[in-house]
Amino acid sequence: MSAYAPLLAALVALLAGLTIGKAWERYKLRDGKWIDRRRARESPHYILGLNFLVANQIDLAIEELSRAASLHADALEVHMILGNLYREKGQVGKAITVHQGLLQRPGLSRLEHAYVLLCLGLDYKRGGFVERAHEAFTEVLRLDAKNEYALVNLQKLQEEQHQWLEAYDTRQRLATLADGNTRPRNQAILAFLENEIGLEALRRTDYAEAARRFAAAIDLDPRAVPAYLNLGDVRVAEGNERDAAAIWEKVVEIAPDRAYLAFDRLEALAVRTANPERFTRLCRRLIEENSQDWRARLALSRHLTARARPSEALDLLFAALVQNPHALSIHQAIWRSLGALHHPQTLVNRYSELTEHAVFYLDPHVCVRCRYRSTELLWQCPHCHDWNTFVEERIAPAQDTDEVEV
């Protein structure tokens, strides 16, 4: 029996350790009292509040969680959630009061302190208190250097203040914490920030630094179209138009769906160098490779109209109209060409047939993540703050109504 005594003692010690650990997880000593952390979670008001929150019934969720908070004043998580709901309802003052009150509690652990500060930073950010929000997120990172939520929100604040270098450093810290699956997204965001830093250098006419930043953006994300455009602008400013043309034509190769962003630059350069056919060939190649590319047809039609060839331009515009009857820019170009031809009745009738069911739009774009719509192509969604998510919105013709739904 004595041989088994050490083993028995070890088993008893193990069971005792597990019991103490579970008790420590569940109970917390506060002001000389042992608090049961699970009591609030078992409250019917807490459970009902979470159910209402999942159902997006914020007012009812606030009502139930307020009851749970009044019954269990020591339940930290209930008060944190309640403060966050006040913020979502726009009651920023209440949210700040709740979270500041939580910070005054004695005995908060380092992690609890960090997460309450994070909530408070979000309150300040929502209320427009930029400096306070910045201080709160910085303090969170002092307590928890790997807090990704604090880093993300700090980066957004820095971007809103056009602190591009600081935002770049913050995103690099985030990239070191992220797993391999998020690497392409991090690379794209870093490329965006490099591009913005380059634009600041370009405004200072520091062409060497601007070119270095734009090239770095392209290395990070080969589809960073703005960086190509801006790098070409730098080469033009330096007097190197041949390199500029090669850079802008690279956009056509790597992102043909965004090639139209380089059309004005390429056309102006072709005309300036007395080689307008270079732009014509480029557009015709794009049309051959993608028969639905209405933007290439529109750009080529404008180019031909400027060279006194309105009949050829009109043929291209009618073909573009079939692909996208809702783009106002096509209709405007058609009427300019018809005016140059003195409005022949046969062509006007053809235009009327093609546009019988069309609704005019200003080239709508939509964010693929949150469905935010814009009449222009944006690089950052102002709603979900995501990068490079805007795509051209495809709209079907309406049937017997002026309303068109996506």
Question: Could you tell me the CA-to-CA distances from 133 to 11, 79, 286, 293, 370 in Å, in that order?
Answer: 51, 20, 48, 46, 25
Selection from 288, 278, 284, 289 nearest residue 301 by Cα: 284
Q: Tell me how far apart the alpha carbons of residues 86 and 162 are, in angstroms, rounded to a whole number.
A: 29
Q: Would you state the pLDDT for residue 50? A: 75
Task: Say if residues 290 and 261 touch (Cβ distance below 8 Å).
Answer: no
CA–CA distance, 313 with 353 (Å, rounded to integer): 18
CA–CA separation, 387 and 194 (whole Å): 13
Work out the average pLDDT over 274-285: 93
Task: Give residue 246's pLDDT.
Answer: 94
Residue 350 burial by Cβ neighbours in a 10 Å radius (0-12, 13-18, 19+): middle
pLDDT value, residue 406: 28
Report which of residues 35 and 382 the model is more confident about. Answer: 382
CA distance 259 to 251: 6
Point out the least confidently predicted range of 37-46, 169-178, 258-267, 327-336.
37-46
What's the burial of 187, exposed, middle or buried (CB within 10 Å: 0-12/13-18/19+)? middle
- For residue 343, report the phi and psi dihedrals to the nearest 5 degrees: 50, 60
pLDDT confidence band for 386 (50 / 70 / 90):
low
Residue 1 pLDDT greater than 60, yes or no:
no
Report the share of the chain in percent with pLDDT over 70.
80
Measuring CA to CA, which residue among 248, 192, 244 is closest to residue 390? 192
Rounded-to-integer distance, Cα 184 and Cα 84, Å? 31
Is residue 365 a contact partner of residue 392, using CB atoms and an 8 Å limit? Answer: yes
Range in 68-72, 249-253, 264-268, 388-392 with the lowest mean pLDDT = 388-392
Helix (H, G, I), strand (E, B) or coil at 39: helix
Provide the token pair at 43.
């409250």
> pLDDT > 90: what percent of the chain?
51
Per-residue model confidence (pLDDT) at position 395: 44
- Burial tier of 393 (Cβ tally within 10 Å: 0-12, 13-18, 19+): middle
Least confident span in 54-58, 167-171, 246-250, 268-272: 54-58
Using pLDDT thresholds of 50, 70 and 90, give the confidence band for residue 27: very low
Describe the crossing of helices 294-306 and 310-323 by its angle, rounded to 10 degrees.
160
Residue type, 16: A
pLDDT band with cut points at 50, 70 and 90 for residue 34 = very low
Report the C-alpha gap between 59 and 67 in whole angstroms. Answer: 13
Helix (H) or strand (E) run with residue 191 in it: helix 183-203
Q: Pairing relation of β-strands 390-392 and 365-367? A: antiparallel
Q: Does 7 have pLDDT greater than 70?
A: no
- 328 versus 120: the higher-pLDDT residue is 120
Average pLDDT, the chain: 82
Interval 91-143: pLDDT, tens:
999 999 999 998 988 888 899 999 999 999 999 999 999 999 999 999 999 99
pLDDT reading at 12 higher than 90: no
Record the pTM. Answer: 0.74
**What HEC string does 274-333 produce?**
CCHHHHHHHHHHHHHHCCCCHHHHHHHHHHHHHCCCHHHHHHHHHHHHHHCCCEHHHHHH
